[in-house]
């Protein structure tokens, strides 16, 4: 079943002086129910604008979309009852009150029967390890703790789709990793479709199975994360340690990137020469103590994608 569908979505903003800005320039994609999709792009790429059209906040200039079969900007309230949102830079929690008080209000807003609200809170609190935070004033919570409660708030009404817009902004590394893990847990346990926008590439690595890359308002890549890694850069990274610091390292098919003391980093163009023969060559000609072969970092892959002509 298709949970989210966009067809040639376009959004142009009129600007007081000058050319109108085309934030989203014709985007089309479809998301199956239960998928975890990362929607990434550099700042100003059109990510937030896309999400806002899909959640009914913005009316598109042209194009179509349906979320759970509903056109977002036409039946906004009906859709709102079935989706959840988490905008990293905005809070749903009332600052001076406890998260529990906000949850109570949300229960009224989403018309959740009291006993069901209690049960869901217990379950979510346990799942997200946040129960002990429910009765502390929001202003006293750390950002990481607050984000966990925000996630509870977004999930309270058991939405079928969860939209997250830059949710890990401002979190430290540990909190980020933890948060990503929680999103995966929600998806696996509750079957919620996840659409996550980010400009942090680690969000793809840890959360998503599928990635859409958008730049200048256009969709420039749409595939599984694993495929992206493999298909896009025909390179491997070699990290080598030698017995003695070599004078130089020259191997056909490999390019020396860094040489410091007895260690060296090389990049192999596997299109030109298979990695196996490069390794054989290296081991034959040099005294190698240790060697590791790795994929290029995802950052590099993504930058490569951004740089593609649109």
* Minimum separation from the CB atom of position 17 to other proteins (A): 9
Give the dihedral of Cα atoms 12, 199, 69, 93; nearest 10 deg. Answer: -100
- Total number of residues that touch other proteins (CB under 8 A): 38
Q: State both tokens at 103.
A: 């949850």
The interface with other proteins within residues 39-98 (CB under 8 A) comprises: 48-49, 52, 55-59, 76-78, 80-81, 83, 85, 87, 90, 92, 94-97
For residue 13, the minimal CB distance to other proteins (Å) is 4
Least distance (Å) between residue 27 CB and other proteins: 14
Could you give the CA distance from residue 94 to residue 43 in angstroms, rounded to a whole number? 28
Q: Which residues of 233-261 are buried (b: 16+ CB within 10 A; e: fewer)?
A: bebbbbebebeeebeebebebbeeeebee
Instruction: Give the pair of three-digit tokens for residue 39.
Output: 């929607």
> Would you count residue 118 as binding other proteins (CB under 8 A)?
no
Q: Which of 161, 186, 183 shows the shortest CA–CA distance to 82?
A: 161
- Give yes or no for residue 113 binding other proteins (CB under 8 A): no
Which CB sits closer to other proteins, 62 or 244? Answer: 62
Is 169 a binding residue for other proteins by CB under 8 A? The answer is no
The least distance separating other proteins from the CB of residue 74, rounded to whole angstroms, comes to 11
CB of residue 233 to other proteins, shortest distance in Å: 32
Binding region for other proteins (CB under 8 A) out of 16-24, 124-132, 257-265, 296-304: 16-24
- Reference 296, options 274, 268, 276; nearest CA is 268
Pick the closer one to other proteins by CB: 10 or 265. Answer: 10
| 115 sits near other proteins (criterion: CB under 8 A) | no
User: Beta strand 193-198 with 36-40: parallel, antiparallel or unpaired?
Assistant: parallel
Q: How far is the CB of 22 from other proteins (least distance, A)?
A: 11
Q: Tell me how many helices (H) and strands (E) the chain has.
A: 10, 13
Distance CA 178, CA 203 (A): 11
CA distances from 58 to 6, 20, 31 (A): 14, 16, 20
Q: d(Cα 165, Cα 168) in Å, to the nearest integer?
A: 9
Closest by CA position to 236, among listed 207, 276, 209: 276
State which residue, 97 or 267, has the beta carbon closest to other proteins.
97
Eight-class DSSP state of 20: P
Token representation of residue 106: 């949300």
- Is the Cβ–Cβ distance between 203 and 38 less than 8 Å? yes
Shortest distance (Å) from residue 136 CB to other proteins: 13
Q: Is 109 in the site for other proteins (CB under 8 A)?
A: yes
114 binds other proteins (CB under 8 A): no
Q: Stretches 1-9, 14-22, 115-123, 286-294: which one binds other proteins (CB under 8 A)? A: 14-22
Q: Rounded to the nearest whole angstrom, what is the least distance from the CB of residue 111 to other proteins in the complex?
A: 8
Q: Which of 34, 42, 61, 110 binds other proteins (CB under 8 A)?
A: 110
| 287, two tokens | 């005294």
Per CB under 8 A, 162 contacts other proteins: no
Q: Binding to other proteins by residue 192, rule CB under 8 A?
A: no
By the criterion CB under 8 A, which residues form the site for other proteins? Answer: 11, 13, 15-16, 18, 21, 23, 48-49, 52, 55-59, 76-78, 80-81, 83, 85, 87, 90, 92, 94-97, 101-102, 104-105, 108-111, 137
């Amino acid at each position: 079943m298709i949970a989210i569908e966009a067809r040639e979505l376009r959004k142009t903003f009129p600007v007081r002086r000058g050319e109108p800005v085309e934030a989203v320039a014709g985007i089309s994609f479809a998301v199956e129910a239960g998928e975890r999709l990362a929607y990434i792009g550099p700042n100003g790429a059109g990510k937030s604008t896309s999400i806002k059209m899909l959640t009914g906040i913005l009316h598109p200039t042209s194009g179509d979309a349906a979320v759970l079969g509903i056109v977002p900007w036409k039946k906004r309230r009906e859709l709102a009852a079935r989706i959840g949102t988490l905008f990293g830079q905005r809070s749903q929690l009332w600052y001076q009150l406890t998260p529990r008080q906000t949850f109570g209000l949300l229960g009224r807003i989403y018309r959740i029967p009291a006993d069901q609200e209690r049960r869901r809170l217990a379950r979510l609190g346990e799942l997200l390890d946040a129960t002990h935070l429910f009765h502390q004033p929001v202003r006293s919570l750390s950002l990481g703790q607050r984000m966990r409660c925000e996630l509870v708030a977004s999930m309270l009404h058991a939405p079928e789709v969860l939209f997250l817009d830059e949710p890990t902004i401002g979190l430290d590394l540990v909190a980020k990793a933890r948060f990503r893990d929680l999103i995966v847990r929600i998806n696996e346990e509750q079957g919620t479709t996840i659409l996550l926008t980010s400009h942090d590439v680690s969000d793809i690595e840890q959360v998503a199975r599928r990635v859409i890359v958008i730049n200048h308002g256009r969709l420039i890549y749409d595939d599984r994360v694993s495929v992206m890694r493999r298909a896009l850069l025909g390179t491997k990274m070699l990290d080598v340690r030698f017995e003695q610091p070599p004078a130089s390292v020259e191997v056909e098919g490999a390019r020396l990137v860094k040489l410091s003391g007895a260690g060296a980093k090389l990049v192999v163009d596997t299109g030109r020469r298979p990695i196996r023969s490069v390794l054989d060559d290296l081991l034959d000609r040099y005294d190698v103590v240790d060697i590791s072969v790795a994929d290029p970092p995802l950052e590099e892959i993504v930058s490569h994608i951004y740089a593609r002509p649109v």
